[in-house]
Chain A
């Protein structure tokens, strides 16, 4: 199969998954007792049965469940996620205002992860089983074991309360692109990136160590190449491929992480909005954000697979 056919096939394969994700999202929210309308009616004793019926019709909550699903999907396909029931704000608009905050935080976390992980992974693999390797492996193991919300709390405790370097909350929130914001991005960014850094480092170390035993390394050394260029030019390139396959998993971990970390740092992103939506049982918002997260991960998987196929011509596309 040619690469182009592989990419095409991979693209087609996300269609059933997208369908499945939308069904599960819808089902999770709708198959449980107590929809928002009955909640509204419960809060407002003046409402008559006719009012309730009108409300249901307005939010597409009348009719059998499959019909509700179809109505919802019809709107979703054209980008209409409905409105927030308590305030009447447009859900798409809410997502669009919150999204940049999460993207910036996520990218910062990614960058932090890569900057820490790749050098330390190389270092650990080159000094395999020596003291430095042991220490960095221990740190990586701690990194994947530490609960991110607790790490965030600890950073607040140390950074803002003991050292006093940070205000816990930005005093007056600057726009996101303002250079001052970089300082406030630091703690949440580190928190969200630590797990990724640790995972990448572990994978880097293993795959580098594996590559180091291959014959082409011996050949390169025999050729008289300095060790530095053997490691950085030959081994590193081949082991970076396995980091690419991690990309999808890490995107999922960062998306999950954003929910918790934004809550810890009061970061006004999508994850924070999600927690608020769940607290308020904002059905439309919950579904929209869940779907959005799902699609993000599907795309990340797709990109990782394609990159992997492009980078490593040895893999068979089947």
Chain B
């Protein structure tokens, strides 16, 4: 506030404008016509911050590790040609080992040949664990992509048009919210029968509503901004206003919810598997593996408890979900998304 008042007469002092200062500041700002794209810089800034978050990076590493291990667990062949020849898993996850090697039995404890022991049917638990990631992880990501896309479109349309459209569309969302997530998925899978795509469908039908509600809220917030008015005034069509001007601004909270949701879906799939409704019995899906050993947890075949058959598959689910939540928290901090719902993610 120490403004020097010119002693000279006849001069007009313009306050608040100092040509020198402006010139000094100029090189500091790297604003150019090209880099004026706000979203781009926001993502870059977010990534910079994310990279400095150790917890989030650990999460990312664990998720990447588990995904790669699942991919390279057994060779993948598409229509006869082998796309992925590597095989990390020492045994075929479906092979019953005592048929090949009589020294390996049912519920063998962890040993140097079977690192995590064998399961109720005498299959190698370690191989099954590596392979099992394929089901849970891929369902988790596929469901999140489907639900996030559909929910975004739904929420954007609802929020943008408002009025009766909004009213009806949001009542439908409220209705979906009235069902506990797992209960509804359970009914759908029970009615459709288990299987990979049935699980995807069930969790997609259940999961889209939270994105719709989130995006609608963001659209309402953003809709009144002047740049949206400007776009409209310039004659932009509704579709382009929604998807080029409104939705990109709603992306940060969406990304946070999506990353946390992967974990929720993975737990949900495993929970259904555990209840006996997910993948067909005997498949290496983590939850289904736990179901198979549930009866023998209390009393093993020869009086000992095969703890490994319960501990390891659950540990795999836990590790993956935890890592996913670490990533979600990291994205949340990095992008400063206000509304995260992070604290609202209960277990299945």
* A146-B179 contact given A20-B172, A141-B329, CB 8 Å threshold: no
From the candidates B186, B294, B314, B326, name the one contacting A154 in the complex (CB within 8 A): B314
Separation in Å of the A80 CB from the closest CB of chain B?
21
For chain B, the count of residues having a C-beta within 8 Å of the partner chain is 52
- B191 near A29: Cβ-Cβ < 8 Å: yes
1/0 contact string of A281-310 vs chain B (CB within 8 Å): 100001000100111011001000000000
- Alpha-carbon distance A156/B342, docked complex (angstroms): 29
Q: Mark interface residues in B224-267 (1 if CB within 8 Å of A CB, else 0).
A: 00000000000000000000000000000000000000010001
Partner of A142, one of B263, B322, B344: B322
Residues of B within 8 A of A286 (CB): 187, 190
Write out, one digit per residue, whether chain A residues 8-21 have a CB within 8 A of any chain B CB (1) or not (0): 00000000110011
The answer, yes or no, to whether A278 is at the interface (CB within 8 Å) is yes
Q: Specify the chain B residue showing the minimal Cβ separation from A255.
A: B180
- The answer to whether B348 touches A256 (Cβ under 8 A) is yes
Q: List the 10 closest A-B pairs by CB distance, nearest first.
A: A253-B346, A20-B175, A150-B314, A195-B347, A145-B322, A203-B343, A256-B182, A202-B343, A32-B191, A256-B180
Q: Which residue of B lies closest to A200 (CB)?
A: B343
Give bound CA distance, A257 to B270, whole Å: 13
Contacts of A92 in B (CB 8 A): none
Secondary structure call for the A interface: helix
Does A147 lie within 8 Å of B267, measured CB to CB?
yes
Q: Is A206 an interface residue (CB 8 A)?
A: yes
Which residues of the other chain, A, contact B297 by a CB distance below 8 angstroms? 153, 156-157, 161
Chain B CB within 8 A of A259 CB: yes
Contacts of A199 in B (CB 8 A): 343-346
Contact code string B187-199 (vs A, CB < 8 Å = 1, else 0)? 1101110000000
Q: List 23 A-B contacts (CB under 8 A).
A: A17-B178, A20-B171, A145-B322, A148-B348, A149-B270, A149-B271, A150-B317, A154-B310, A156-B298, A161-B297, A196-B346, A202-B342, A256-B348, A259-B183, A263-B274, A274-B183, A275-B186, A278-B186, A278-B277, A281-B190, A290-B179, A293-B179, A294-B179
Interface with B: A214-222, A227-235, A244-252, which one? Answer: A244-252
**B307 contacts chain A at the CB level, 8 A cutoff:** yes
The answer to whether A149 touches B274 (Cβ under 8 A) is: yes
CB pair A141–B325 under 8 Å, yes or no, is: yes
Q: With A256-B181, A297-B178 known to touch, is A141 a contact of B326 (CB < 8 Å)?
A: yes
In this complex, which of B186, B187, B329, B346 has the most chain A Cβ atoms within 10 angstroms of its Cβ? B346
Contacting residues, chain B, for A20 (C-beta < 8 A): 171-172, 174-175, 178
| B293 to chain A: closest residue by CB | A153
In the assembled complex, the CB of A226 is this many whole angstroms from the nearest CB of chain B, namely 29
A-side contacts of B86, CB under 8 Å:
none
Partner of A144 from the list B178, B275, B276, B325 (CB cut-off 8 Å) is B325
On chain B, the residues within 8 Å of A278 by CB distance are: 186-187, 190, 277
B183 contacts A293, C-beta separation under 8 Å: yes
Q: Which residues of B contact A (CB under 8 A)?
A: 171-172, 174-184, 186-188, 190-192, 263, 267, 270-271, 274-277, 287, 290, 294, 297-298, 305, 307, 310-311, 314, 317-318, 321-322, 324-326, 329, 342-348
Chain A stretch 188-246: residues in CB contact (< 8 A) with chain B: 194-196, 199-200, 202-203, 206, 246
Q: With A and B bound together, what is the CA distance between A140 and B265 in angstroms?
A: 19
B310 & A157 in contact (Cβ 8 Å cutoff): yes
A253 to B192, CA, bound (A): 24
Number of interface residues of A (CB under 8 A): 58
Across the interface, do B321 and A145 meet the contact criterion of CB distance under 8 Å? yes
CB distance from B70 to the nearest CB of A (A): 18
Contact A249 B186 (CB under 8 A): no
User: Which residue of the partner chain, among A147, A252, A257, A279, contacts B314 with CB atoms under 8 Å?
Assistant: A147
Contacts of B314 in A (CB 8 A): 147, 150, 153-154
| Chain B residue, CB-CB nearest to A28 | B187
- Cβ–Cβ contact A249 & B346, under 8 A: yes
Given the known interface contacts A150-B290, A256-B182, the answer about A24 and B175 at a Cβ–Cβ threshold of 8 Å is: yes
In the complex the two chains form, what is the Cα distance from A195 to B263 in whole Å? 13
How far does the alpha carbon of A246 sit from the alpha carbon of B276 in the complex, in Å? Answer: 31
Shortest distance from the beta carbon of B301 to any chain A beta carbon, whole Å: 15
Shortest CB distance A98–B (Å): 15
